[in-house]
Structure 1
Amino acid sequence: MAEDSQSLYNAETLAEISSLSLRAITLVEGLLSGQHRSPHKGSSVEFAEYKAYSPGDDIRHIDWKVVGKTDKYHVKQFEQATNLKCTILLDTSGSMGYQSPLKKQDASPKAEYVRTLVAAFSYLLLKQFDAVGLLTFNRSIATHIPPRSKPSHFQHILHALGNCRFEGETHVSEVVGDIIERLPGRGMLVMISDLLVRDDDVLKTLNLIRSRGLEVLLFHVLHPDEIELPFDGDIVFESLEDDPPVGLNPEDVRDQYKATVQDFISHFQTNCPSLGIDYQFLNTATPLEQALRYYLLRRNSLLKL
């Protein structure tokens, strides 16, 4: 589960959040430079129902009369609160924390890359007055922040990103099974993962989400070391998850390994479009601003067709 809330305020975490916020805002402002503002507007004023207060809710919507009668905090919810509700699923398994041991390596560590991607995507959605939430997972759900649209919600997402730890295995189907009933009936789900799973049929699981009326975006993130296997000599590879160590000379298997990885990527590139899943492969050697700019331009051109 998520760490104790007191850890949110230690100096290391606050420094990470500050840096992450700056990277995300700078990246998004660069992407939006010269473009028209979103035509989306804010929430409607038609009252729908009450819900129990949770961190991140706007305290202006607390019904103090209900508090006085029940001694419990409830907030008012409104119909058509936002144009879009998006949930970001971030894989925080051990392999997502990979950092290259090579000294001459220009690629970003995967953890830094995906944290910035989540922060940038969240900030972009909030700039458009849409709602965004975050769910981090490995074998099970670690953190779940429901979608909200107010600008201050960005800080809750940054806190969660600053505290997430990359460890354990990935079990997509189990996690989706646990949360699928809580996902908005119509909205967007963004999954960010290296897709290095064992038994999961990820496409089958994501297609299940699609069948419930959600738009699905899949960002497949790999480090160049995982694509090229650029190591030399006899090496013992230790697992970042729960696999046993493997000793070998990468030169003996490099060609076969690279072909297998390309087949792995091609599997998703080929099958995702037929399922209505928007797939984007990301190599952490590609600057995130460049990758996101390309993705958004491609996506916008497809939406105009």
Structure 2
Amino acid sequence: MKPAPFDYHSPRTPEEAVGLLAELGEDAKAIAGGQSLVPMLALRLAVFEHLVDLGRVSGLRGIERRGDAVWVGASTTQTAILRSPDLAAAVPLLTRATPLIGHFQIRNRGTVGGSLAHADPAAEYPAVALALDARLEALSPRGARTLPAAGFFTGMWTTGLAEDEILTGVSFPVRGERSGHAVEEFARRGGDFAIAGAAVAVDLDGAGLIRRCGIALFGVGATPLRASAAEASVLGVKAADVDAAELGATALAEPASVPSDLHASGDYRRHIGAIMVTRAWRRALREALDA
């Protein structure tokens, strides 16, 4: 199939882009790399009369250290993220999640902002943003604002962005001295969306106690999920005393329901998800202990 007819717009500035979205209203959709939206348009799962292309908008690309955080422009490609040694050192969880996204052709076009704004519950970047307490920067005709990752993902493919608002960048906190990060997912084939996955970030204090813990789940709900009860259960605990398998079970006991589809039943996703948390926790903790 082919997309339904639409008018194409190519703004050059963020202000022009949000102005177009405001003027055109609900009949318009912003498009970044197009790796998620174009297939939906081709299958006519989504239909818009206007597409506002953000690819030529100035100021939306780049990776910059800003104090105790790293800013990544919303139009920065996944390949650029993967190739940045500074980002690999400062925000390793983002770098490690990137090779799991589709295939290299997709990563060459796909963007960090596009992935976050598309909000696929089985995607890696939304879970990474949750686990790291990232802050998302948005712009509309009313001005700029910053949204915390917690609460940004409101439902299947929906976010807290208004119709006339675009993401301009994302700030990720820089890793601590004794920290560990890991992403684990299970998919039927490499490059497929995950049946279940987990992103883990853990920080230790000087005594080896868990000072901060972020556990985000993907593929097991309508949005990426933060395993808050599991995180709380290990805060202040000596790292060596945490039972990784028990932590995984606690994390996947939190979702009230896990969806079933043609790829996997809810029970299977819950079982696999617990294993992914267990594996990611062990890897992240080992890195933190060796730091």
Q: TM-score, normalising length from structure 2? A: 0.28
Of structures 1 and 2, the one scoring higher in RCO (CA 8 A, sep 6+) is 1
The structure having more radius of gyration, on CA atoms, is: 1
Bigger share in helix: 1
